């Protein structure tokens, strides 16, 4: 995009979104009032539904009464109503009929179909536009071409005929022609069903375009996977760029031949022995992705591959069920809850896990503390237990900013030790940081039969000895006094460590995607029970 074109683009964004942004920042001064107003709108709109009549929405006058009238709900509590409304059109949860379903498998269990009404879809679009405004204000991420990786807009149809798929794909397709002209990847790429072919096609389009200033995907591990595909298929990719002929070209896709670009990349690869994103996109200004939870591992591996000065922009807390936060200041990655549209409730982490605790509003949270999240949305999720843990990491006016910590299910307990995923992340990453090597992938499995934990790790280095395993075991003990106690008493066995051969993390990811998890939103679990892990790491040839 020319300098004039980009200035016009920023100006248009400012005119359209500047007022909305300033209004949200003003409202952050009174989160309690904003939350009460959001609740009134949702309850008034849906008072005539079956759920609304059953729980007396018309009589509820505030959040306190709402908590008394409506119990905490899981997806399984709402599944029958969701499926019945889609099939028959009955107004079970929302007056507005859902126009789309965001399908997610989660980490375990049957697929969930999250309803999206027309109002909910419009809200998602506004959030995306507001995010673009914030990115453009303080970075050149949107200056030229943008590589955005998401899911397929339509993956199938519900029994009643409503489409389901990835909302990110739906939004990708619905952008203006001006915005779509700057996308590197055609929307059709996300619809390629074959996992390897989809990544190969993304690599061809991505490398063919040298003027990328921004890249976005939910999980930073996607960027690592893409670069691995480049190195495995370099000749095939360079040939496709040079000739304009896509390998196994899916219908509807085309590519302009760029022989000089192919020769340039080939020379860089031959000279350096490998390509980094600094080689591929030297003008990259920033990447937008998740940075919290287990994504920090992938970001640590990705950082050295980016051009110097590339800004890492937190996408914000989000899930298939709802958009939880918006990054309102990319200079400090301050993510403000979507408090104007979604009603938030919280319970302190320790209290919820012990079976107690009061429900709190945004205005009652404390900085540095961790909380479980419960939400009420315009799309029919009421006091919904999403099983996520967030931390308050700052403030915008009187409203706390939130950072995702981990899934609530990222906790294992063999004999009272209650190990958390965040503790595993800290123990393993601190060990490797001090040892000077970097893990490409790792997962710790809790084995109830042997009363112990096994760490599977892919580093590309030599096998780890007993002393190194004891070091990590000691770090975990230092982070969790109950783990230490159980180890000292012999109720937990010594941590076992097994070295995985190169590519094991990718094989695990491919297996999870093949079983139904979304590739674009895939999250590595770094802590799990053996009984819940369907992938057999011990069966990988070469595991030590």
Residue 429, classed as helix, strand or coil, is: helix
Does 322 share its domain with 438?
A: no
Q: Residues near 530 by Cβ (< 8 Å), separated by ≥ 6?
A: 445, 446, 447, 448, 449, 454
**Distance (Å, whole) CA 34 – CA 30:** 6
What are the backbone dihedrals phi and psi of residue 49, each rounded to the nearest 5 degrees, phi first?
Answer: -75, 165
Q: Are residues 467 and 360 in the same domain?
A: no
Which residues is 390 bridged to in the sheet?
A: 371, 404
Bridge partners for 372 per DSSP: 347, 389
The verdict on residue 261 lying in a domain is: yes
Domain count for the chain, please give it. Answer: 3
> Would you state the pLDDT for residue 225?
87
For residue 213, CA distances in Å to 12, 25, 186, 209, 281 come to 19, 28, 17, 10, 7
Q: The domain spanning residue 389 has which CATH number?
A: 3.40.50.12780
Residue 118's CB: how many other CB atoms inside 10 A? 13
pLDDT for res 101? 95
- Tell me which residue range forms the domain holding 390: 27-119+317-407
The reply to whether 362 and 416 lie within a common domain is no
> What does the block give as tokens for 4?
């004039």
Say if residue 207 is in the same domain as residue 288.
Answer: yes
Predicted pLDDT at 106: 45
In this structure, what DSSP letter does residue 495 have?
A: P
Residues 303 and 348 reside in one and the same domain: no
Model confidence, pTM: 0.82
The last residue of a domain, from among 286, 314, 342: 314
Structural domain includes residue 4: no
Half-sphere exposure of 406 (CA within 13 A, CB side): 21
Distances (CA, A) of 232 to 196, 199, 277, 278, 366: 11, 11, 16, 18, 48
In a domain, 144, yes or no: yes
Q: How many CB atoms lie within 10 A of CB 419?
A: 24
Q: Are residues 498 and 424 in the same domain?
A: yes
Tell me: do 470 and 510 sit in the same domain: yes
- Residue 129 belongs to some domain of the structure: no
Q: In terms of DSSP H, where are the helices of 457-539? A: 466-479, 481-488, 504-514
Query: Which of 314, 343, 377 corresponds to the end of one domain?
Result: 314
220 and 306 housed in the same domain: yes
The predicted structure's pLDDT at residue 490: 81
- CA 209-183-379 angle, to 5 degrees, is 150
Count of alpha carbons within 13 angstroms of residue 281, beta-carbon side: 28
CA dihedral 330, 333, 334, 336 (to 10 degrees): 80
Query: Residue 533 is encoded by which pair of tokens?
Result: 């892990």
Residue 168 counted as domain residue: no
Say yes or no: 441 and 517 in one domain.
Answer: yes
- The answer as to whether 22 is a domain residue is no
**Gap between the Cα atoms of 410 and 403, Å rounded:** 16
**Of 314, 334, 368, which marks where a domain is finished?**
314
* Inside any domain, residue 384: yes
- Beta bridge partner(s), residue 499: 457
DSSP calls for 355-380? T----B-GGG--TT-EEEEEEE-TTS
- Asked whether residue 258 falls in the same domain as residue 110, the answer is no
Q: Tens digit of pLDDT per residue, the chain (544 long)?
A: 555 577 777 777 788 889 999 999 999 999 999 999 999 999 999 999 999 999 999 999 999 999 999 999 999 999 999 999 999 999 999 999 999 999 875 444 567 899 999 999 999 999 998 998 999 888 889 899 999 998 888 889 999 999 998 877 888 877 767 677 789 999 889 888 888 899 999 999 999 999 999 999 988 888 988 999 999 999 999 999 999 999 886 667 999 999 999 999 999 999 999 999 999 999 999 999 998 876 777 788 899 999 999 999 999 999 889 999 999 999 999 999 999 999 999 999 989 988 888 999 999 999 999 999 999 999 999 999 998 899 999 999 999 999 998 878 778 888 878 888 889 999 999 998 888 777 889 999 999 888 899 999 998 665 566 788 899 999 999 998 889 888 887 889 999 999 999 889 889 988 888 877 767 667 778 999 898 888 999 998 877 7
One domain, residues 309 and 185: yes
- Rg, Å, the chain Cα set: 24
In a shared domain, residues 439 and 526: yes
Question: Does 64 fall in a domain?
Answer: yes
């Amino acid at each position: 995009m020319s300098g004039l074109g980009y200035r016009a683009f920023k100006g248009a964004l400012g005119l359209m979104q500047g007022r909305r942004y300033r209004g949200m920042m003003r409202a952050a001064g009174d989160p309690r009032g904003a939350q009460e107003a959001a609740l009134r709108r949702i309850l008034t709109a849906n008072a005539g539904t079956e759920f609304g009549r059953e729980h007396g929405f018309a009589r509820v006058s505030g959040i306190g009464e709402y908590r008394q009238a409506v119990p905490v709900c899981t997806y399984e509590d709402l599944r029958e109503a969701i499926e019945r409304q889609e099939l028959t059109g009955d107004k079970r949860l929302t007056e507005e009929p859902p126009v789309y379903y965001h399908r997610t498998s989660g980490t375990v269990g049957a697929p969930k179909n999250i309803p999206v009404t027309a109002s909910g879809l419009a809200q998602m679009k506004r959030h995306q536009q507001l995010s673009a405004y914030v990115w453009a204000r303080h970075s050149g991420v949107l200056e030229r071409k943008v590589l955005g990786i998401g899911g397929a807009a339509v993956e199938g149809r519900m029994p009643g005929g409503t489409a389901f798929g990835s909302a990110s794909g739906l939004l990708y397709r619905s952008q203006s022609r001006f915005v779509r002209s700057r996308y590197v990847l055609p929307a059709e790429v996300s619809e390629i069903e074959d996992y390897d072919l989809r990544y190969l096609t993304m690599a061809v389009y991505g490398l063919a375009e040298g003027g990328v200033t921004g890249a976005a995907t939910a999980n930073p591990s996607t960027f690592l996977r893409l670069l691995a595909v480049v190195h495995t298929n370099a000749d095939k990719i360079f040939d496709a760029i040079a000739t304009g002929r896509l390998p196994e070209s899916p219908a509807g896709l085309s590519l302009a031949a760029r022989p000089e670009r192919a020769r340039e990349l080939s020379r860089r690869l031959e000279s350096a022995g490998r390509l980094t994103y600094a080689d591929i996109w030297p003008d990259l200004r920033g990447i937008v992705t998740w940075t919290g939870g287990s994504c920090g591992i992938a970001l640590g591996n990705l950082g050295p591959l980016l051009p110097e000065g590339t800004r890492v922009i937190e996408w914000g807390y989000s899930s298939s069920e709802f958009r939880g936060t918006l990054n309102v200041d990319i200079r400090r990655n301050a993510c403000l809850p979507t408090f104007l549209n979604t009603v938030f409730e919280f319970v302190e982490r320790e209290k919820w896990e012990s079976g107690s605790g009061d429900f709190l509003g945004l205005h009652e949270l404390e900085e540095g503390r961790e909380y479980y999240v419960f939400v009420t949305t315009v799309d029919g999720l009421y006091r919904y237990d999403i099983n996520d843990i967030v931390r308050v990491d700052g403030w915008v006016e009187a409203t706390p900013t939130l950072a995702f910590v981990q899934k609530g299910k990222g906790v294992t307990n063999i004999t009272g030790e209650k190990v958390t995923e965040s503790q595993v992340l800290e123990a393993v990453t601190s060990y490797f940081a001090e040892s000077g090597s970097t893990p490409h992938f790792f997962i710790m499995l809790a084995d109830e039969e042997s009363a112990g934990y096994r760490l599977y790790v892919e580093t590309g280095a030599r096998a780890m000895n007993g002393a190194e395993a004891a070091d990590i075991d000691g770090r975990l003990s230092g982070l969790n006094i109950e783990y230490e106690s159980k180890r000292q008493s012999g109720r937990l066995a010594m941590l076992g460590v097994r070295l995985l051969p190169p590519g094991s993390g990718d094989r695990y990811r491919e297996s999870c995607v093949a079983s139904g998890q979304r590739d674009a939103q895939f999250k590595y679990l770094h802590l799990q029970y053996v009984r819940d892990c369907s992938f057999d790491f011990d069966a990988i040839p070469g595991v030590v």
